[in-house]
Amino acid sequence: VTKIVITAAGRGTRLLPFTKEMPKEMMPIFSNVSTNRRIVLPLLQYVYEQLYSMNFRDYCLVVGREKRSIEDHFTPHEMYLRDLKGNYKSVMTKFYHKLENSHLVWINQNKPLGFGDAVKHAEKYVGKEDFVVHAGDVTILSKNKHPILRLIETAKKYPDAKAILLCKKAKDLKRYGVPTVNKLSNNLFSVNEVVEKPDKPKSEFGILPLYYFK
């Protein structure tokens, strides 16, 4: 798999008034993903930097009509760089270098019709290739191997699987898509069906917004 679809088209209404003008994907977080010292990054840049560190170079970002600030941030601006000094210039230079070594495709989701519709907008981009979907407003951390790499390994081990999902045990399952599952091995399950935000969950697992599709 080489293609990554990042969804960044939601309106973030639960974070109003912050998200009235600023996309939730651009919320600031502390990170040392691209430097030895802790700096403030937009959340979406952190997601991108994580993926880049795993050698992904081909990205499709699905954004909404109000998300011009995202595209602006991911467009190298040499005049801006020229005015920076010291560590800040070094950080931005490294970020721009990564962007120049990446292939970014931008797709607009003109109406906010949900996560699934945003992914469908990338249909022509992915064609018939396998691809990974990562929500742009969520960071997924791991003490060991990153879940994306585990998804890819699982996809290779089970070539007949059409999709590989990442789940976690959760208490408030009304906030998640909840699968009904059969256990295959330790930490690995086959999925029978998925119900979005069920009133009566049939398992203890909630689906996280990171997927491998074939």
Domain presence at residue 165:
no
Nearest of 105, 79, 104, 106 to residue 92 by alpha carbon: 79
* pLDDT beyond 70 at 142: yes
Mean pLDDT of the chain: 88
The CATH number of whichever domain residue 43 belongs to comes to: 3.90.550.10
**Would you state the pLDDT for residue 19?**
61
For residue 109, being part of any structural domain is answered with yes
Alpha carbon distance 175, 189 (integer Å): 21
Q: Give the C-alpha distances (Å, rounded to integers) separating 30 from 17, 41, 45, 139, 157.
A: 21, 6, 11, 12, 36
- Residue 46: domain span: 3-139
Report pLDDT for 66.
67
pLDDT category at 34 given cuts 50, 70, 90 is low
The answer to whether position 66 is within a domain reads yes
Distance CA 2, CA 49 (A): 15
* 184 inside domain: no
In a domain, 195, yes or no: no
Residue 60 has pLDDT above 60, yes or no: yes
pLDDT confidence band for 33 (50 / 70 / 90): low
- Alpha carbon distance 204, 214 (integer Å): 26
User: In this predicted structure, what is the pLDDT of residue 29?
Assistant: 87
Higher local confidence (pLDDT), 59 or 89: 59
